[in-house]
Structure 1
Amino acid sequence: MVDITDVATRSRMMSGIRGKNTKPELVVRKALHRLGLRYRLHVRRLAGAPDLVFPRYRAVVFVHGCFWHQHNCPLFKMPSSRTEFWQEKLDRNRERDREHMAKLLQDGWRVAVVWECTLRTAIKSNDEGLFERLAEWIKGRASASLEL
């Protein structure tokens, strides 16, 4: 299938996609702040510069977009044009995620991943339980990793 936009337009559109302070990330930040948790943002000295860092609890949270991190859900769909390029790029993102998570766990951090699709579902159903479960995990000492 041929791309319906020209190269310059596609480039402009893709450059507008942010890596920090995304809408899903802001939703998680506001909810956790409302629950009394305080955090640091994008700490660069940690592997992967996690979206939220809770030094007091030695916990970090990544808020992943389903497309960019190839989540196995309805929100992820491989582009039909330049599939080889996209497959390579997205596979590398996944590999990098695994490397960062392994490094953080090795360094004694607990790691949580919140997926965009889970957030959308929680928002649509007005489910505050997702954020409460995440807050409990952050404050607790159980399990080294969590995926929501």
Structure 2
Amino acid sequence: MHRSPDEQWSPPTGSWASSAARRRNMQAIRSRDTEPERLIRRLVHAQGLRYRVAARPLPGLRRTADMVFRPAKVAVFIDGCYWHGCPEHYVPPKTNPGYWSGKVAGNIARDRDTDRRLSEAGWTVLRFWEHESPDACALQIAAMVSKLRPRQT
């Protein structure tokens, strides 16, 4: 929907956006293909490993992992420090703290639930923070996938 510049913006019914600028800012945040994800994927791919990107490890679970190695049953998540409550880097928001802190707490609870469900289904879950060394992450991923990958006879 296109609006004329003089038309006043108002959030859609049920929207949490407090202003047009905030809404644009929040819509611009990437949920996949972030720079840390791309760096780690490039390094893992260079080691000869192949994977699915932004895929559901379990068909009935409406959650996606950043990298999925199906034969090895390894799901990799590269978590953003703000959105997933990094103990080192998370800074509570100054604007609308009740909403945002609740959202981050919900993300953390969902992450733990996802880990539990995947583990119960026989998957290995690897989680990394966006600030961790891509090289170290890629080495850990490659080691785990190599260890768990079914051997071809």
TM-score normalized with structure 2 length:
0.77
Secondary structure, aligned partner of 2:76: strand
**1:144 alignment partner in structure 2:** none
**1:54 alignment partner in structure 2:** 69
Q: Does 1:37 align with 2:49?
A: yes
Specify which of 135, 139, 143 is matched with residue 132 of structure 1. 139
Query: 1:88: Cα distance to partner?
Result: 0.8
* Identical columns (%): 32
Indicate if the aligned counterparts of 2:66 and 2:76 stay in contact, CA closer than 8 A. yes
Task: Note the 1:55-74 alignment, pairs <5 A.
Answer: 55-73=70-88
Gaps (5+ residues) in structure 2?
Answer: 1-17, 149-153
Give the partner amino acid of 2:95: S
CA distance in 2, matches of 1:27, 1:94: 24
CA distance in 2, matches of 1:60, 1:19: 16
CA distance in 1, matches of 2:84, 2:52: 23
Gaps (5+ residues) in structure 1?
Answer: 1-5, 142-148
CA distance in 1, matches of 2:141, 2:74: 11
Give the partner amino acid of 1:29: R
Query: 1:84: Cα distance to partner?
Result: 0.6
CA distance in 2, matches of 1:41, 1:129: 19
**2:151 alignment partner in structure 1:** none
Query: 1:45: Cα distance to partner?
Result: 5.7
Query: 1:44: Cα distance to partner?
Result: 3.0
CA distance in 1, matches of 2:57, 2:130: 25
User: Once the two structures are superposed, what CA deviation does each residue of 1:116-144 show, in whole Å capped at 9, x if it has no partner?
Assistant: 111xxx26xxxx34422321122214xxx
RMSD of aligned Cα (Å)? 1.6
TM-score normalized with structure 1 length:
0.80
Give the partner amino acid of 2:55: V
Q: Does 1:76 align with 2:90?
A: yes
CA distance in 2, matches of 1:33, 1:11: 35
